Amino acid sequence: MPDVKISPSILSADFSNLGKEIQNLEKAKADLIHIDVMDGHFVPNITIGPSVINKLRKYTSLPFDVHLMISPVHDFIKNFADAGADIITIHPEATNDLVSSIKKIKSYNKKVGVSLNPETSVDKALSILSMIDLVLIMSVNPGFGGQKFMEETLEKVKVLRTEIDKKKFKTQIEIDGGINFENAKLAKEAGVNILVSGTTIFKENGGNLKKNIHLLRTG
Ligand code: DX5
Ligand code: ZN
């Protein structure tokens, strides 16, 4: 099994101290920083926007893995590209024209992710797989940290892994929601390359970031 990358979700971090939290994640050997952007419309929660991301940029050289849960997303893509996102992930339901939004992200030389909610068919990603860098499989309904992992979403991971390997694509598979030390193993076995985790990384073992990242990676 190839090495998995860990993308801690700062949704579980101390929002009054995000710069320091991100530095701590880098010291704890995170590979990416997962930033959940929510608009209170596409999902029933509100988090942060491009100006905060831009202010955070100077605290780390780790890639910013920006998960946009906002709708309509298309006209905001430039704001997040300018703010310092490295990967911009969008949901198909949040744009009128998925292909045009993908092209827009690419036009800013950013990596493109497409995210599938638990009820969204894997076909949505299969049809555009050659155009994108990453598929983000939601293993909870987006909106909140701390929810229970939906194991049935691993079926989509397996379908994608087979297709990506068959076509020799470089597309990464990321999974997001309810990841803990037990199901991380199942996700890796199903073919995931990147694990997102908020609650497990920030709350388990007294909030020992380094230990929790290590356990997710190697467990
Ligand atoms: C949910 C977010 C996730 C979430 C993960 O909408 O996309 O990134 O913060 O948090 P945990 O690991 O607590 O499920
Ligand atoms: Zn997320």
Can you tell me the distance from the alpha carbon of 86 to that of 34, in angstroms, rounded to the nearest whole number?
A: 10
CA 130, chain centre distance (Å): 19
Can you tell me the distance from the alpha carbon of 189 to that of 164, in angstroms, rounded to the nearest whole number?
A: 15
Alpha helices in 17-115 (DSSP H): 18-27, 50-56, 77-83, 98-107
Residue 214 confidence (pLDDT) above 90: yes
pLDDT recorded at residue 103: 98
Q: How many distinct helices (H) and strands (E) make up the chain?
A: 9, 8
Indicate the helix (H) or strand (E) that contains 166: helix 154-167
Q: For tokens 């992930």, name the residue.
A: 89
Give the pLDDT confidence of 38-48 residue by residue, as tens digits.
999 999 999 99
For residue 147, name the pLDDT band (cuts at 50, 70, 90).
very high
Order of strands across the sheet that contains 172-176: 5-8, 194-197, 172-176, 134-138, 111-116, 87-90, 64-69, 33-38
Percentage of residues in the chain having pLDDT higher than 90:
98
- What residues act catalytically? 36, 176
Domain total for the chain?
Answer: 1
Q: Which of 11, 116, 192, 194 to mutate to test the pocket of ligand 1 (most atoms within 8 A of CB)?
A: 11
Phi, psi of 138 (to 5 degrees): -80, 125
Domain around 155:
5-218
pLDDT recorded at residue 2: 61
Residue 82 confidence (pLDDT) above 80: yes
Q: Does residue 77 sit in helix, strand or coil?
A: helix
Ligand 1 site residues, Cβ closer than 6 angstroms: 9, 11-12, 34, 36, 67, 140, 142-143, 145-147, 176-179, 196-200
Residue 79 confidence (pLDDT) above 90: yes
Q: What is the mean pLDDT of the chain?
A: 98
Percentage of residues in the chain having pLDDT higher than 70:
99
Give the pLDDT confidence of 113-143 residue by residue, as tens digits.
999 999 999 999 999 999 999 999 999 999 9
Phi, psi of 58 (to 5 degrees): -75, -10
Give the pLDDT confidence of 187-198 residue by residue, as tens digits.
999 999 999 999
The alpha carbon of 74 and the centre of ligand 1 are apart by a number of angstroms equal to 23
Phi, psi of 189 (to 5 degrees): -65, -30
For residue 219, name the pLDDT band (cuts at 50, 70, 90).
confident
pLDDT recorded at residue 195: 99
Give the tokens for residue 202.
Answer: 């920030």
| CATH classification of the domain holding 134 | 3.20.20.70
The alpha carbon of 126 and the centre of ligand 1 are apart by a number of angstroms equal to 24
Region 77-96: mean pLDDT is: 99
State the CB neighbour count (10 A cutoff) for residue 135. 27
For residue 3, name the pLDDT band (cuts at 50, 70, 90).
confident
Residue 28 confidence (pLDDT) above 90: yes
Region 68-95: mean pLDDT is: 99
